[in-house]
Every structure is written in C-alpha cells, then in structure tokens.
Amino acid sequence: DTEVTQTPKHLVMGMTNKKSLKCEQHMGHRAMYWYKQKAKKPPELMFVYSYEKLSINESVPSRFSPECPNSSLLNLHLHALQPEDSALYLCASSQDRYLHGYTFGSGTRLTVV
C-alpha cells in the first residue's frame, strides 16, 4: 500500500459545527503532516507529527485540533470554523522528516458556510 487515504473527500459545515478529517497510511511512515491549500496557492504547513508526537504547530488557531491516535492515523478536529477556513486540507506522510519525500493524500475539500 503506497497511498495516503483522506476522508471525507468533500465536507460542508456550518460555523457552529464540529467535524473531523481523517488521514490514514499503511506505509510505516513515522512522520505525518497537515497542510492547508487555498486556490492557486502553495500548501501551507499546519501541523507535524513525528513518531506520534506533535513536533511543529505553525501557530494555527485553536479551532483546529490535531490528533495522532497511532502511527497510521492522523485526525484534524474542526470546531467553530470561519468561512475563510474554506480550503483543501492535505495530509502527507514521509518515512522520516529529513531524508525522504512526502506522499500526499488527495485532500478534503472543506467549505464553511
């Protein structure tokens, strides 16, 4: 298995809702990442987990809450989002943080209404 699987593919949520994005990989990668991508912009780093521990939080608002239950799973919990949070949320993984490229999932297209 050489894929990163993200669910759901599309999500529409209201500003008072709570939802979660899920990311899964079975490649034995020990680093996992959340990126946010707006249209015609590069992916923007949000969170990094290395060996299931949060190692980088790029000053992301607390309405985004990451969780890494085990080495294969990464969740992003969403609460009280704003319309400007609408974007493509990409999960990625890599064998380690230093020497290998990232494998990206196909993303969750999030719309906040």
Partner 1 sequence: QQPVQSPQAVILREGEDAVINCSSSKALYSVHWYRQKHGEAPVFLMILLKGGEQKGHEKISASFNEKKQQSSLYLTASQLSYSGTYFCGTENPNGYALNFGKGTSLLVTP
- At residue 58, what are phi and psi to the nearest 5 degrees? -80, 50
**Per-residue binding letters, 57-96, with partner 1 (x by CB under 8 A):** -x-------------------------------x------
Tell me whether residue 113 is exposed, middle or buried, using C-beta atoms within 10 angstroms of its C-beta: 0 to 12, 13 to 18, 19 or more: exposed
Q: 5, 15, 38, 56: which one contacts partner 1 (CB under 8 A)?
A: 56
- Strand ranges of the sheet holding 64-70, from the earlier edge strand across to the other edge: 4-7, 18-25, 73-79, 64-70
CA neighbor of 72 nearest in space, from 32, 104, 21, 19: 32
**Per-residue binding letters, 13-52, with partner 1 (x by CB under 8 A):** ------------------x-x-------xxxxx--x----
State the minimum distance, in angstroms, from the CB of residue 100 to partner 1: 7
Q: Are 33 and 49 in contact (CB under 8 A)?
A: yes
State the minimum distance, in angstroms, from the CB of residue 18 to partner 1: 26
Residues engaged in binding partner 1 (CB under 8 A): 31, 33, 41-45, 48, 55-56, 58, 90, 97-107
